[in-house]
């Protein structure tokens, strides 16, 4: 567990120092095993409740000394010294030295006889009806109902509707199937009047689809085995039905899932009972589609597989026969000619090339650039709906490192200002379009704009706020945080080690990201990454002197801002058992600071306007006091907190003051609450609480800067 989350460490240090002051021998005889978040096991008591073999345990006390020499116990997590007043060695345990930075494996503690001791499952094992799960990123525990047959319906003994949790064919989510003698839908009746006759449940009697049109089918009642041979796993409890598609002589036919509520797999079969010839799978738009090539008249058989029974819409339509199918690889791709559009029908969603962007149905082309040129890659949907992703790669295009840029057509064309003469590979993938026209246009080269590359990163200084334009700028930074839009690179040069906080803002409706990169601005290797909607904030403590790069990206154009704030490296201040009310409010110094603690058990003294209107109960409160001698910018960041935080600012000489308008924020995401306000000189009260009663381990980072 992170040291910021361990108030017990502070308790242990205080207790140990107190023992030393009162003569260690008097205290050591009363050492206790402190468990369940009350105290650290400091007497060497084992899990079985017995003392370990003293003959192999290093000394704790009673070792005579005149200096620190004989006091080293060999454990890195203890402070060892000689108490010259008592003439005995003193050992103080520091749990934070054992912290491995992992939340889900519990609290690591420092034992005075054994050194660092590993933690355990912080969430426990749940119970007969619930399975405990730990989210390392969010640092939270949750439970999910037990579902032994994995049919999506928990056992009816545990609040679900599954009357037989050992049979995936039976649950309250299923339809009643005629003639099988089972209570399929768990309503207490068998083969009632509203039962269904399965469609295409037998490969020998498939559901016949037309050569053009749309049909609704259901996978209810299917007991057919799942086809084998697909490169991705298919659960044995999945529902499989069979359909046929007519094969035309003079045109190709496309079969696609036009609508579905759950993931779907289309499996092409050479014959019933054989392994898959082709597998297409998708859990979202675009749903799977396959192409039946022109040939001798007849039919192609497909298995349609879903995890649970559901209703699907299947569509068939004709397209022109393609004697030379497009490739998704780097081997002999067809050529693109500048200014000449090429049609791409996305009839398979498989992709063989890695990409920073979507690679569903990826197709590749070769483009020869005779002289240094600018390049514009544009794609237009030919069906009036959906979009695509286009990419540009070096000719040795297999590795991800060869991808120069990629961009969604939702954000406009991909424009590269200056390509050197040579051979390149252009790719196109789909995010919903069934067919697009792809056009590559070469033109005179132009200059790269400042910030478009790491080598041309825009310089930014501490306390500076820069305007940022994303218009006509591809993502050539390739931070690895997000891609497919527009991005800019920025460089901060630190003369000395510092805590750093970046704040980026995009247009209100934009989605984007901010990535902190290393001193070499290495592509695809962000030190930290935050994605979503504006504003973005990235903080890092004790950054080494030298260059620091950050990338700000958005899914479209428009303008935004980037600001950076620094301060001397500030150690984290643990807050244990205080700050829950006005009398014990934790002071924030003139340079701000980073604080951590646990709100569990604190009083619920002060609410916030952006909390639930009828919070039940009101969450425990952690309170801070801030005195500003002059007008300053105050930035409050609760990233790292283990629960949905609520941070608010109140003003007034008398606690708790009045909440400032628009100074309350709920941190639903893992970035938690963030506030950026310019405040006049005066006394302020910072309230850190939980949304709708939430509480637990919290972190508050307070940056103070010039307005």
Rounded Cα distance between 500 and 218, Å, is 56
Residue 50 has pLDDT above 90, yes or no: no
Q: How does residue 555 score in pLDDT terms, banded at 50, 70 and 90?
A: confident
Of the ranges 85-99, 588-602, 627-641, which one carries the lowest mean pLDDT score?
Answer: 85-99
| pLDDT tens-digit series, residues 203-257 | 988 999 998 999 988 888 777 788 888 877 788 778 899 999 999 988 999 999 9
Which own/partner contact pairs does 54-58 have at CB distance under 8 Å and 24+ positions apart? 57/113, 57/114, 58/113
Q: Is the pLDDT of residue 521 over 50?
A: yes
Q: According to the model, what pLDDT value does residue 324 have?
A: 64
Q: Map residue 552 onto helix, strand or coil.
A: strand
pLDDT at position 617 is 62
- 298-302, 451-455, 549-553, 676-680: segment of lowest average pLDDT: 451-455
Q: What number is the average pLDDT over the span 482-495?
A: 88
Please give the full DSSP string across 127-162, using - where no structure is assigned.
BTTEEEEEETTTTEEEEEE--TT-SS--BGGGTS-B
- C-alpha closest to that of 530 among 672, 407, 664, 643: 672
Question: For the residues of 225-265, what is the DSSP string, one character each?
Answer: PPPS--SS---TT-EEEEEEEEEPSSEEEEEEEEE-SS-EE
- State percent of the chain over pLDDT 70: 89
| Contact by Cβ (8 Å): 376, 407 | no
Task: Give residue 124's pLDDT.
Answer: 67
Q: What angle do CA 405, 531, 675 make, to 5 degrees?
A: 140
Taken in order of first residue, the domains within the chain and their CATH numbers are 3-117 (no CATH), 207-320 (2.60.120), 342-443 (2.60.120.380), 454-565 (2.60.120.380), 572-705 (2.60.120.380)
**CA–CA gap between residue 271 and residue 434 (Å, rounded):** 28
Closest CA to 487 of 462, 520, 512: 512
Cα–Cα–Cα angle for 453, 458, 459, nearest 5°? Answer: 135
> What is the pTM assigned to this prediction?
0.62
Residue 506 near residue 471, CB atoms below 8 Å: no
Encode burial over 638-651: b for 16+ CB neighbours within 10 A, e otherwise: bbbbbbbbbbbbbb
At 657, is the pLDDT very low, low, confident or very high (cuts 50, 70, 90)? very high
Mean pLDDT is lowest, of 34-43, 549-558, 614-623, 631-640, for 34-43
Q: Which residue has the higher pLDDT, 387 or 44?
A: 387
Output the pLDDT for position 61: 53
d(CA 481, CA 208): 46
| Average confidence score pLDDT of the chain | 82
Lowest mean pLDDT among 2-11, 81-90, 420-429, 637-646: 2-11
Give the whole-angstrom CA distance, residue 30 versus residue 15: 12
C-alpha 283/C-alpha 417 separation (Å) is: 37
Report the first-to-last Cα separation within the chain, whole angstroms: 36
pLDDT at 482 over 60: yes
């Amino acid at each position: 567990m992170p040291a910021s989350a361990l108030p017990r460490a502070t308790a242990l240090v205080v207790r140990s120092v107190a023992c030393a002051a009162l003569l260690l021998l008097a205290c050591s005889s009363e050492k206790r095993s402190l468990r369940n978040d009350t105290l650290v096991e400091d007497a060497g008591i084992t899990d079985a409740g017995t003392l370990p073999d003293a003959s192999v345990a290093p000394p704790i006390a009673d070792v005579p000394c005149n200096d620190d020499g004989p006091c080293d116990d060999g454990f890195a997590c203890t402070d060892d010294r000689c108490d010259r007043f008592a003439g005995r060695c003193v050992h103080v345990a520091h749990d934070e030295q054992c912290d491995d930075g992992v939340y889900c494996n519990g609290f690591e503690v420092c034992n005075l006889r054994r050194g660092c001791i590993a933690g355990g499952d912080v969430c426990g094992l749940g119970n007969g009806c619930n399975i405990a799960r730990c989210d390392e990123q969010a640092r939270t525990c949750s439970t999910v109902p037990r579902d032994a047959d994995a049919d999506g319906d928990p056992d009816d003994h545990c609040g679900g509707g599954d009357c037989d949790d050992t049979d995936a064919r039976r649950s309250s989510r299923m339809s009643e199937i005629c003639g099988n003698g089972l209570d399929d839908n768990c309503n207490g009746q068998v083969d009632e009047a509203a039962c269904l006759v399965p469609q295409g449940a037998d490969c020998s009697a498939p559901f016949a689809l037309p050569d053009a049109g749309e049909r609704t089918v259901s996978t209810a009642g299917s007991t057919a085995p799942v086809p084998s041979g697909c490169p991705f796993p298919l659960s044995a409890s999945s529902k499989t039905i069979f359909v046929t598609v007519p094969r035309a002589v003079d045109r190709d036919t496309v079969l696609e899932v036009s609508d579905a509520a759950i993931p779907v797999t289309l499996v092409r079969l050479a014959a019933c009972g054989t392994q898959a010839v082709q597998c297409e799978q998708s859990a979202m738009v675009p749903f799977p589609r396959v192409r039946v090539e022109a040939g001798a008249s007849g039919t192609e058989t497909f298995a349609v597989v879903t995890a649970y029974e559901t209703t699907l819409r299947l569509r068939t339509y004709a397209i022109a026969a393609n004697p030379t199918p497009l490739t998704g690889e780097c081997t002999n791709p067809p050529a693109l000619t500048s200014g000449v559009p090429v049609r791409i029908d996305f009839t398979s969603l498989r992709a063989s090339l890695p990409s920073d962007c979507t690679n569903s149905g990826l197709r590749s082309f070769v483009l020869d650039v005779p002289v240094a040129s600018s390049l514009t890659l544009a794609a237009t949907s030919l069906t009036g709906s959906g979009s695509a992703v286009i990419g540009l790669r070096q000719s040795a295009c297999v590795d991800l490192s060869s991808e120069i840029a990629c961009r969604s057509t939702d954000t406009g064309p991909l424009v590269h200002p200056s390509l050197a003469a040579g051979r390149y590979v252009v790719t196109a993938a789909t995010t919903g379009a069934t067919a697009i026209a792809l056009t590559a246009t070469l033109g005179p080269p132009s200059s790269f704009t400042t910030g478009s590359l790491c080598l041309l990163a825009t310089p930014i200084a501490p306390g500076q706020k820069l305007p940022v334009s994303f218009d006509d700028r591809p993502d050539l930074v390739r931070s690895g945080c997000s891609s497919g839009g527009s991005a800019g690179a920025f460089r901060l040069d630190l003369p000395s080690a510092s805590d750093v906080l970046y704040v980026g803002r995009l247009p209100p409706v934009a989605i984007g990201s901010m990535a902190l990169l290393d001193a070499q601005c290495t592509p695809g290797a962000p030190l930290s990454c935050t994605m979503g909607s504006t504003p973005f904030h990235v903080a890092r403590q004790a950054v080494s002197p030298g260059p620091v790069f950050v990338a700000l990206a958005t899914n479209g154009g428009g303008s935004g801002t980037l600001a950076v704030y620094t301060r001397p490296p500030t150690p984290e201040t643990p807050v244990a058992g205080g700050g829950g009310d006005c009398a014990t409010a934790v002071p924030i110094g003139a340079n701000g600071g980073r604080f951590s603690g646990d709100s569990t058990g604190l009083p619920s003294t002060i609410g916030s306007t952006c909390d639930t209107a009828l919070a039940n109960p009101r969450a425990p409160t952690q309170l801070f006091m801030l005195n500003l001698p002059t007008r300053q910018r105050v930035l409050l960041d609760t990233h790292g907190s283990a629960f949905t935080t609520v941070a608010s600012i109140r003003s007034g000489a008398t606690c708790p003051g009045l909440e400032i308008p628009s100074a309350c924020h709920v941190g639903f995401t893992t970035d938690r609450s963030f506030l950026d306000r310019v405040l006049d000189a005066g006394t302020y009260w910072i309230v850190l609480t939980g949304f709708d009663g939430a509480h637990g381990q919290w972190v508050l980072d307070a940056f103070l800067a010039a307005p």
